[in-house]
Chain A
Amino acid sequence: MSSPYYVRDRIDSFPTETIEGYGVRPGRSMPFGATLVPGGVNFSIYSGRATGMTLVLYRRGEEEPLAELPVPESFRIGGVWAMTVFGLDYEDLEYGYRVTGPNQPAIGDRFDPSKVISDPYAKNLGGRDVWGEEPDWTRQYSHRSRLAFDDFDWDGDVPLRIAPDDLVVYEAHLRGYTRHPNSGVTNPGTYAGLVEKIPYLKELGVNCVELLPVFEFDEWENSRVNEETGERLFNYWGYSQVGFFAPKAGFAATGPLGMQCDEFKNLVREMHRAGIEVMLDVVFNHTAEGNEFGPTISFRGLDNATYYMLTPDGYYYNFSGTGNSFNCNNPVVRDFILSCLRYWASEYHIDGFRFDLAAILGRDQNGAPLPNPPLLEALAYDPVLRDCKLVAEAWDAGGLYEVGSFPNYQRWSEWNGKYRDCVRKFLKGEVGQIGELATRVAGSPDLYKHRGCHASVNFVTCHDGFTLYDMVAYNGKHNEANGEHNNDGSNDNDSWNCGAEGPTGDAEVNRLRNRQMKNAFALLLNSRGIPMVLAGDEIARTQGGNNNAYCHDSELSWFDWAKVEENADLLRFVRNMISFRARHPVLRCPHHPYGSPPAGSPFPEISWHGTYPWAPDWSGDSRLLAFMWYGHGLADDGGDDILYVATNAHWDPHEVLPPTLPPGWSWELTADTAADSPNDFHPDGEGPSVGGPLTLGARSTLILTGRRTQ
């Protein structure tokens, strides 16, 4: 029988001395950050080379500090300054630090006690509470640390732990997904707004939403007005973090009340209830402080030489292309990153992380690539993160390209840029792609042979580059609206406009574009590896040919919900293809397909074909590939799971003859991208039986399913 429950007073719940009128006592060094303790708040912060630390307290939103409390030297243990302060109005409180130390940039120190800096461990940050609301630029302290209530009521929620091979990832911008006036949600552009779109996601069939950065960032960073259009440009994508432990307040309908933590947690809980995981795009390769000309927000004034990779003369290495590089393999920084991810996994029930420019995470403190990077190893083996997906964007802006060779510990997956490039080249009709296409469809064993298919996150498009529609509607980028004279964004798009640049009234061109998009989905969803879909591609979202919409908070970048109706036939096709993938285990095996038949199987797990069965055309000018998936005993009923896919990037149709199936089996037509909707996809058991030669239309894909007839 349990004893009556009551909160016991602790003997350390009382101050030992007074500073500036506040009762204080020596704090606890761990955990870092500001933590609610009985009667007060424990503040703990590390700086390796600071000579003095002052805690600066503010009433919420006020310019002048409420009090400045120098942390006594006797409260420091090692490099950690810790103090518990009693009697604070913790809900109305903002805090920061003045840090004293040498200002000698040549040896890496840039201490400046005239500035108040944010706590890197702040779990809630004020200052940008409402998206796009212009800040008061005269403020001395912009990004203001606040306390967070870590007492969300999860109501039994746990992370979903979906097997990686079963995932269908959907990459979305949190604000852009519901910001459009036609989204129909109560709170557009917010965590709560996304909750209202969960039924759409469920119907689409994706089971993992990967959110572009949601850690606090400053949408006003590098903000400017396009002189030609008059449009205000923002840091819309947010790949530049101000705080790593705090969710973006401007994404919350409740941001003005400081309840963004609860609102985001509710989003995760509701996603989980719908069977959808939440993956975060995290940006640890650099911070929003830029180079020596950038603002001092936190790390620069706290311990510049620890947190940044510095040249021998104290300048910033720039492997990120944004001014600085986070010193990820310094043990202190490594601990910071690990603590951060553990916090998101445990406190927010996040299911996985995608690491932006992750190659930087494998560099040493001088920028040299490490063979066994301690950070990547620590993340791979971390107890709290064990069930989280870890996905690397395995390159950086310093020229380090590690697709297929990212230090992985049998744990990391990668964005497979080679899959994207190959499928795009094939679709546009480029020759010399058939051999590589076969490899990519099979889960890229050339890159991931010993790591399993789920090491490959397959994608054709992502936020960075053309949308799928723009990939089939534009030959070149059209980034004029970015105000950089179309000089920004990649020039290597592997795109083809199908005969007209941009929007056209030519029905044939539009039909071809529609077909090309379906071809892309058909290949993506019939390949081994984890498929990733860019949000909006399923409804042919366009950015008007802009392949670098990082600065547009406008209809250019928002999800246009009117297209759900306008492009209902494409959406139907995509829903069906995702559902098809879910019903066919042979597409979701963790291992790469065997080249020879497994025991008892009449065929290899994957076999290659051309216009004739067993006769693939690997020649340099081939534009046609057919393949058969044969999953012996893999079907849900224990039978064989058999699929045939023939894809033709040639401008003429061809006849193809699928392989003859064992007695008692026949082929049923599932999909034909050359056919108009609804005949482009037939639900299970409703497709016509087919035999003999089939017409594979120009620039089209056919999918057949093996059906048992006896």
Chain B
Amino acid sequence: MNIHKRMAGSVCVISLDGKLDSHTTPAVHSAMVELLPAGGQVLLDFTKVACMSGDGLRTALVVYRQAQGLDSSVALVGLSDDLRNVLTATGYLDFFVVAETVADALATLQDEVAEELADEQPVLRA
């Protein structure tokens, strides 16, 4: 399993390449925790993940909870039909922003940021 990280604006894009199961999950999880930004949003690109087990799926869920603790959100890209069905059946899909491509996911995340900024109330000074 290879893991790559890059920044796209304020979004941390983590791409995985290989098989994500109980053999690889511990190492992947450790690596991802180190790669996670202290703030900002996260995009997990599974496009090149050949196979993901239930344990592998839990890695994404742990990332989600860590991001939530930072008031951030996580996008998933490259979900296979099977994986999407598993996430739906277990109710986890709603936790994530799901997109077909990295570009779509980035656009959605950036829209979220824009909405949050728009919702912020102006500070009044006496």
Residues of A within 8 A of B (CB): 89-92, 149, 151, 153, 186-187, 190-192, 195, 252-254, 257-259, 262-263, 265-266, 269-270
Contact = CB atoms under 8 A, between A and B. Distances in A.
Contacts of B88: 186, 192
A266 B93 CA distance: 11
Chain A to chain B: the 5 pairs with minimum beta-carbon distance, closest first: A266-B91, A91-B22, A192-B89, A262-B90, A253-B89
Given A252-B89, A257-B86, A153 B22 contact: no
A149 B85 contact: no
Contacts of B54: 91, 149, 254, 257-259, 262
B91 A254 contact: no
B65 interface: yes
A499 B55 CA distance: 60
A587 B54 CA distance: 47
Contacts of A89: 22-23
A590 B77 CA distance: 53
B19 interface: no
Nearest to A270: B91
Given A89-B22, A254-B86, A269 B91 contact: yes
Contacts of B86: 253-254, 257, 259
Contacts of B57: 259
A186 B91 contact: no
Contacts of A195: 91
B22 A266 contact: no
Nearest to A268: B91
Contact of B85 (A90, A151, A187): A187
Given A187-B89, A259-B54, A91 B21 contact: yes
Given A153-B61, A153-B65, A186-B85, A91 B55 contact: yes
Contacts, number: 58
Contacts of A192: 88-90
Nearest to B22: A91
B61 A90 contact: no
B53 interface: yes
B91 A90 contact: no
A114 B126 CA distance: 85
A89 B54 CA distance: 13
B58 interface: yes
A58 B92 CA distance: 30
Given A253-B89, A263-B90, A90 B53 contact: no
B89 A254 contact: yes
Contacts of A269: 91
Contacts of B21: 91-92
Interface string B84-126: 0110111110010000000000000000000000000000000
A183 to B, nearest CB: 15
A286 B91 CA distance: 34
A669 to B, nearest CB: 45
A470 B75 CA distance: 52
Contacts of A92: 21-22
A34 B23 CA distance: 20
Contact of A266 (B61, B85, B90): B90
